[in-house]
Structure 1
Amino acid sequence: MQEKLVKVKNGVYEHLLFDQVDEDYKNEPSTLLDMFLRRLKKNNNSELFGVIKNDSVKYITTEDFYRKFKKIASFLFTETKEKELIGIYAVNCLEWAIVEYAGYLVNCTNVPLYSTFQPSALEYVLKETEMKILFASSQKANNLYETVLKRDNDLNSQNISSLEKIVLFDRDENVRKLYEEINIKVMFFDDLLEKNYDEDSEDIELDRRPKGSDTATICYTSGTSGTPKGVVLKHSAFCIHICGYKIVSAANLFPPSESVTYLSYLPLAHVFERICFTVVMSTGGRIVFFRGNPKMLQMDYEIAQPDFIAAVPRVLNLFEERINETVSNLNFIKKFLFKVCLWWKRKCVRKGNVKSWLVDKLVFNKVSKKFGGNLKYCLTGGASINPNTVEFLQSTLCMKIFQGYGMTEGLAANIVQPISDIAMDNVGIPFTSCKLRLKPVESFPYENYGELLISGKSLTSGYFKQPEKTEELWEEIDGEKWLKTGDVFKFENDRFYCVGRVKEMFKTSYGEYIVPEHVENCFVGGCIEDIYITGTRDSDSLCAVVVSSKKEWQEEDKMLKYIRDKGMQLAQIRKITKYEIPKAVYVINTPFMELENGELITPSMKKRRGKLYDYFKEEIESRLKK
């Protein structure tokens, strides 16, 4: 039986500890800088950041980090105005964090650029923000030059980039020459750290300290449709979220973060990683940066030995595939032993136990060691995940996986499962710093269904330079502003369940509403590495575009039979209905992200459904006509 943790009054859903956040926040820091300084004061010798070198982790202390970012802050103090926008373009690394906190010390706003942004998105962000200083790795700087700035210069355009200076995290003379040819000054990060700036920098702290109402960051959405939007997030929004986390952690509803080791590999440009990173950093944990190569991620796990991670469903799907591939290469006896132990372990997980002494010793401790051997908690979000994958990984990696839901505009954490939950088909309860509503929608005229609306002090203040879009973001109810998410949820048994996007639902010729993301999530896994399901108003059936790299599954008839058989099994246990089973299939062996220069998928790995349909239109429509 799930613990009752939600109070409902007049259609508003709140965490039972919601009121405590406002009370506790009165005694909390109101800026991310002050959050850090409190940790520094409490224990300046605690290990904070780790960098993997020569297959081991080298840590720096909180005091070391403070000294480094004060040096960069001294540079920014002379080169920027208060509240100026500074860009960061790199995969997660120590330098990234140094620039972030250096900016806070002089009250500048950071603008992270997704490392997977397409040229059109990079160009758009540079133009809209008018940033003058960019910190970047040489690899990303070279990409920016080749895809945007070089063309801009060749066309003699004067209105794309306001960039005047670029600071390279790594020394690359070739990149320096490229930028100097287009009159952009280049500096190297190490040179700034070595320069004899004022060590105390007391004048900086006094002159340009941020307030809670100041903007900490502008996070650009990855954009499933249209151009990216810059989501403005204040210091106070982060701090209220952190306060809320501390409250539920103290109540043993969330994992403790004071002594955890966290592996940072999801893009810091994404608010999901950003809030996890900030919570661990602010509350006493330590953070290890991956080495920047996704292909080496499992090795990074082995070396860093994290006990807490954040993961999007695609990463967890890859973990499952990797484990299954290893098992498939075992001899008959070992393979049989694995299957028997997995059967038993799944039974344990369904009772809430992710550890079982005997089967863990026989099999699963060895599997867990391939991922560091110390994993205890994993928070997953960003998209729906197959409950079977969650159960499999909890069984094999001996860690608790808890799910959440959030949006960039809501600072990621809006609904999160308590770690005590056993059920894997829901996303949890309102986060302590949020209030929720369900607004009725035509396609789901049922009680406790509706579009999710969010209210609270941890939300965005709007979109950067887009007042009309900002206005569209909100709905006023009884004098209170509510953030429109565009996602349909149901509330049942004291938990929220994500149904799907309002704008992505479609109706078949039979008048049945289809929620494609839910159906796709039920089918993905095994021979189906990814799947896009769609239909038309003129058709009474669905078509699935399936990604499978395995040769034996390239035959459409074989894949269609598999989908129909699995669909009937899912229908029998009421995961889907019979009319949601695809009647046509088109199989490809190339991931969606590798088609059309990556334009079919967002940087956060969400499907751009309109573009996917246009790309596969001929194959989809020809198959649905048969």
Structure 2
Amino acid sequence: MFEFFVFFSSIFSVFSDALPLLSEEVSVMDDVWDALTYKLLVYGAATVAIGTTIYLVVQKRHFTSPGSLQKQSVLLPGDERIHISPFTKIREDGTPDLLSYTYEDGRTLYQAFVRGLAQSNNGPCLGWRPGPTESYNWLSYQEVLDRAFAVGSAIVEKGYASGQSTYIGIYSNNRPEWVIVEQACFRFNMVTVPLYDTLGPDACVHIINQAVIPVVFLDTTEKIYKLLEKAEETPSLKIIVLMVGEVSAELKSAGESKGVEVIRFDGMLKLGQEHPHKEQLPSPEDVATVCFTSGTTGLPKGVVLTHACLIADIAGVFRHIQENVEFTTSSKHFSYLPLAHMFERAIQGVVYLHGAQVGFFQGDVKILTQDIQALKPQLIPAVPRVLNRIYDRVIGQVNSSGWLKRTLFSMALNSKKKAFDRGEIQFDTIWDKLVFKKIQGILGGELRLLVSGAAPLSADKMLFFRSAMGCWVSEGYGQTECTAACTYSYPGDLTCGHVGTVIPSCMIKLIDVPDMGYSASEDKGEVCVKGPIVSKGYLKDEARTKETFDEDGWLHTGDIGEWMSSGQLKIIDRKKHIFKLSQGEYIAPEKIENVYIKSVFVAQAFVFGYSLKSCIVGIIIPDEEQLMKYAKEKSINMTFQELCKNQDICDMIFEDMEKVAKDGNLKSFEKVKKIHLSSETFSVENNLLTPTFKSRRKTIENAYKSEIDALYEQVEPATPTPSA
């Protein structure tokens, strides 16, 4: 509050001599002392009035921690050093009683949806925009369930048995039909199998054959033709359902020639309405979905997840936030992260369980913010890649603005950060109105919870979003094999640099990784997870199941974690991607890449090394905005592509990377010796990133093999073969 008094006092001081009224009053006063007193009274009263007004209009969100911030996990007795949540009860035999569900009437995903119907009194459930300028249209909970029953009946009418033996494919962007098909499968106890837009034809063939999928629902004719091209390789596939649009005679004929029926979604609805079948509801232990993880190498693995897995994960995360984040029937969640991944599906599970609403994006990421602004959601899940772009754009505009705007922005940010120390997240201060309103407007202006996952969000960006958005920004950690999240941050814990603490639906331990120098006795090691959220294994893949899940039911994640003194988990490294250099030193490339991307000129980094070489090299994707700004300042008239080919620019970026490497305490063998600049971003579209935005390391290596070899030729030339 002190900043406000200083700020407004200075304004009055500047204008004091320019006020004729006050000048006239002073001139008629008999005593200079009276004049001074008068001025002080006027200015003081005005300052106090303004300060009081500001104080009164400030709205705050006080977050009550669900447990002690100083002891966020409990260490069980024993050599394994297992951590559990403080909320987890201990049975009489000394074993932890892990949380399996939140509500007795919501123990399967179908029951959770039906509970949402009752909670909302059949309120709006699924929303979509027919066009860029149109408002959201809504289906009610009952309308979704009715359509789901019709679709499920149609599948049975087509000759496929209800129950666990039938696997149904969904190959689509997020849209209402996705959820309708999912609920159709749940009503008839079938198993959903998502196919990703970016997996490619070979992976789709693998998934269809692995799960023996007879029916696939999809959203574009382009995808239909892709599947038909591989129809000879997928003998189980008999029906393709187009969710939206018309099925042309040509398309029907193309399907018939391959022995595949192509039908409209409306046709399936009509068929099911005319031929209703008896539903077969699932039990908690029945399989709900097989989610194929894209992986960074090889064919995807099908993670088998039961209804109990998802309900337990939803319960564990909700236990952390239930006292601070209210889910009402009017709460809206914005859905754009792929439903093919468990992060989005787990969040939607929380929404449906409480009768809230889900609004979908139109499928075009270029107009994502337009959809958000039309929906005005209270809940948005995000990945750091999206948040980083918003942060970079805002900070770039601030830094290029005038002194006054930069000063106001700095004061606003500092004021918000000071409120954190008091356990407050303010959302309606004068700073929100003057400085942060436009930033908040990017995400609709009514955000109450921003969930970050899939990768770490840096501490400075976490502080920025909590300040600028005026809402709780939470972070979690997990993977498909443990459904979604196994850790989640406490509301009220305003520290950064960690992924929260263990949820009450699982327990976590760290195990030694001697090759990398990590010891569980020092609270560092590979993260292992056990509990009702953990999958039973991979579909029809016993070998890889044994590699990942041990005999005692522990999931070995491949991530390296560290327990912090207050009980939070920090992810510090990755086990699977380490490689050894010729001198015997181990390299963890992702750790090094996370250091280099702190350079303002580096948008993406890929670090690579051969085991026969003694150093590492890097493929660098420069930050286009920052590089073009630098070029303008230096009067360099080149395109972004030309700059990436310029050796002087490469040297400049390498020099800046050297500085951040020093600040990041990289050892000499962890520093890249040469870099190659590329103007093509690693993306999901060019298959260099997985759908969860992790690097496909082998694919990137193959794509840049010639550049990598050229870099090594410069730093470690091959020894010439002696002549005969």
Task: Report if TM-score (shorter chain) is over 0.5.
Answer: yes
- Equivalent residue in structure 2 for 1:392, among 464, 483, 491: 464
- AA of the residue aligned to 1:117: L
- Equivalent residue in structure 2 for 1:51, among 119, 123, 128: 128
C-alpha distance 591-483 of structure 1, shift in aligned 2 (>3 A): same
- The secondary structure found in structure 2 opposite 1:167 is strand
Are 2:532 and 1:532 aligned? no
C-alpha distance 232-405 of structure 1, shift in aligned 2 (>3 A): same
Tell me how far 1:327 sits from its aligned partner: 4.6
Tell me how far 1:612 sits from its aligned partner: 1.9
- Equivalent residue in structure 1 for 2:86, among 16, 23, 31: 16
Maintained 8 Å contact 1:221/1:408: yes
- Equivalent residue in structure 2 for 1:317, among 388, 409, 414: 388
Are 2:710 and 1:622 aligned? yes
Match of 1:303 in 2: 374
Match of 1:27 in 2: 104
1:25-84 superposed Cα distances (whole Å, 9 cap, x missing partner): 683533111122222234432222211234322222212222221221221232321220
- AA of the residue aligned to 1:166: I
Tell me how far 1:491 sits from its aligned partner: 0.9
Match of 2:93 in 1: none
- The secondary structure found in structure 2 opposite 1:590 is coil
CA distance in 1 between partners of 2:214 and 2:355 (Å): 34
- AA of the residue aligned to 1:599: N
- Equivalent residue in structure 1 for 2:673, among 583, 592, 617: 583
Are 2:517 and 1:444 aligned? yes
Match of 1:523 in 2: 596
Tell me how far 1:338 sits from its aligned partner: 3.7
Number of equivalent positions: 606
Tell me how far 1:165 sits from its aligned partner: 1.0
Are 2:500 and 1:421 aligned? no
Name which of structure 1's ranges 461-470 and 241-250 shifts more when overlaid on structure 2. Answer: 241-250
Maintained 8 Å contact 1:386/1:522: no
1:425-478 superposed Cα distances (whole Å, 9 cap, x missing partner): 1111111101111110011234111111111012112111112222222223xx
CA distance in 2 between partners of 1:57 and 1:281 (Å): 18
C-alpha distance 339-370 of structure 1, shift in aligned 2 (>3 A): same
Name which of structure 1's ranges 348-357 and 407-416 shifts more when overlaid on structure 2. Answer: 348-357
Tell me how far 1:483 sits from its aligned partner: 1.0
Maintained 8 Å contact 1:379/1:402: yes
After TM superposition, the structure 1 = structure 2 runs for residues 536-615 of structure 1, keeping only pairs within 5 Å, are 536-548=610-622, 549=624, 550-551=627-628, 552=631, 554=644, 555-562=646-653, 564-565=655-656, 567-568=658-659, 571-572=662-663, 576=666, 580-593=670-683, 598-615=686-703
C-alpha distance 345-583 of structure 1, shift in aligned 2 (>3 A): farther
Maintained 8 Å contact 1:523/1:563: no
Are 2:259 and 1:189 aligned? no
- The secondary structure found in structure 2 opposite 1:487 is strand
Maintained 8 Å contact 1:92/1:290: yes
Maintained 8 Å contact 2:320/2:489: no
Match of 2:243 in 1: 169
CA distance in 2 between partners of 1:257 and 1:523 (Å): 39
1:270-300 superposed Cα distances (whole Å, 9 cap, x missing partner): 1111111112112222111111111111111
- AA of the residue aligned to 2:569: F
Maintained 8 Å contact 1:410/1:458: yes
RMSD: 2.8
C-alpha distance 245-51 of structure 1, shift in aligned 2 (>3 A): same
C-alpha distance 23-300 of structure 1, shift in aligned 2 (>3 A): closer
Name which of structure 1's ranges 392-401 and 123-132 shifts more when overlaid on structure 2. Answer: 392-401
Are 2:531 and 1:456 aligned? yes
After TM superposition, the structure 1 = structure 2 runs for residues 32-181 of structure 1, keeping only pairs within 5 Å, are 32-53=109-130, 54-79=133-158, 80-81=160-161, 82-83=163-164, 84-137=166-219, 139=220, 141-146=221-226, 148-150=227-229, 152=230, 157=232, 159-174=233-248, 175-181=251-257
C-alpha distance 537-473 of structure 1, shift in aligned 2 (>3 A): closer
Match of 1:293 in 2: 364
C-alpha distance 23-310 of structure 1, shift in aligned 2 (>3 A): closer
- The secondary structure found in structure 1 opposite 2:491 is coil
- The secondary structure found in structure 1 opposite 2:69 is coil
C-alpha distance 85-23 of structure 1, shift in aligned 2 (>3 A): closer
Tell me how far 1:570 sits from its aligned partner: 6.2
CA distance in 1 between partners of 2:503 and 2:272 (Å): 45
Maintained 8 Å contact 1:28/1:243: no
CA distance in 1 between partners of 2:300 and 2:363 (Å): 24
- The secondary structure found in structure 1 opposite 2:620 is strand
C-alpha distance 26-102 of structure 1, shift in aligned 2 (>3 A): closer
CA distance in 2 between partners of 1:230 and 1:100 (Å): 17
After TM superposition, the structure 1 = structure 2 runs for residues 296-445 of structure 1, keeping only pairs within 5 Å, are 296-324=367-395, 327=398, 333-334=404-405, 337-338=408-409, 341-342=412-413, 344-345=415-416, 353-355=424-426, 357-442=429-514, 443-445=516-518
Tell me how far 1:228 sits from its aligned partner: 0.5
- The secondary structure found in structure 2 opposite 1:212 is coil
Tell me how far 1:404 sits from its aligned partner: 1.2
CA distance in 2 between partners of 1:346 and 1:22 (Å): 34
Tell me how far 1:184 sits from its aligned partner: 1.4
Name which of structure 1's ranges 585-594 and 22-31 shifts more when overlaid on structure 2. Answer: 22-31
CA distance in 1 between partners of 2:698 and 2:101 (Å): 45
Match of 2:69 in 1: 2
- AA of the residue aligned to 1:36: F
Are 2:340 and 1:263 aligned? no
- The secondary structure found in structure 2 opposite 1:422 is coil
CA distance in 2 between partners of 1:569 and 1:468 (Å): 42
Match of 2:347 in 1: 276
Maintained 8 Å contact 1:404/1:413: yes
C-alpha distance 349-104 of structure 1, shift in aligned 2 (>3 A): same
Structure 1: unaligned runs, 5 residues or longer: none
Considering only CA atoms, is the larger Rg found in Structure 1 or Structure 2? 2
Tell me how far 1:559 sits from its aligned partner: 4.7
- The secondary structure found in structure 2 opposite 1:240 is helix
CA distance in 1 between partners of 2:269 and 2:244 (Å): 13
C-alpha distance 522-144 of structure 1, shift in aligned 2 (>3 A): farther
Are 2:587 and 1:514 aligned? yes
1:343-399 superposed Cα distances (whole Å, 9 cap, x missing partner): 554555577654372322211112111220112221111123333332333333333
The percentage of aligned residue pairs carrying the same residue is 28
Maintained 8 Å contact 2:98/2:506: no
CA distance in 2 between partners of 1:232 and 1:556 (Å): 50
Maintained 8 Å contact 2:100/2:312: no
C-alpha distance 24-339 of structure 1, shift in aligned 2 (>3 A): closer
- The secondary structure found in structure 2 opposite 1:64 is helix
- The secondary structure found in structure 2 opposite 1:262 is strand
C-alpha distance 182-281 of structure 1, shift in aligned 2 (>3 A): same
Tell me how far 1:22 sits from its aligned partner: 4.2
Maintained 8 Å contact 1:585/1:623: yes
Match of 2:720 in 1: none
- AA of the residue aligned to 2:126: F
C-alpha distance 178-500 of structure 1, shift in aligned 2 (>3 A): farther
CA distance in 2 between partners of 1:258 and 1:161 (Å): 46
C-alpha distance 258-516 of structure 1, shift in aligned 2 (>3 A): farther
Output the TM-score relative to the length of structure 2: 0.78
- AA of the residue aligned to 1:35: A
1:90-131 superposed Cα distances (whole Å, 9 cap, x missing partner): 100000000000111111111111122212111211222221
Tell me how far 1:339 sits from its aligned partner: 5.0
CA distance in 2 between partners of 1:2 and 1:42 (Å): 32
CA distance in 2 between partners of 1:236 and 1:267 (Å): 22
- AA of the residue aligned to 1:122: C
C-alpha distance 303-211 of structure 1, shift in aligned 2 (>3 A): same
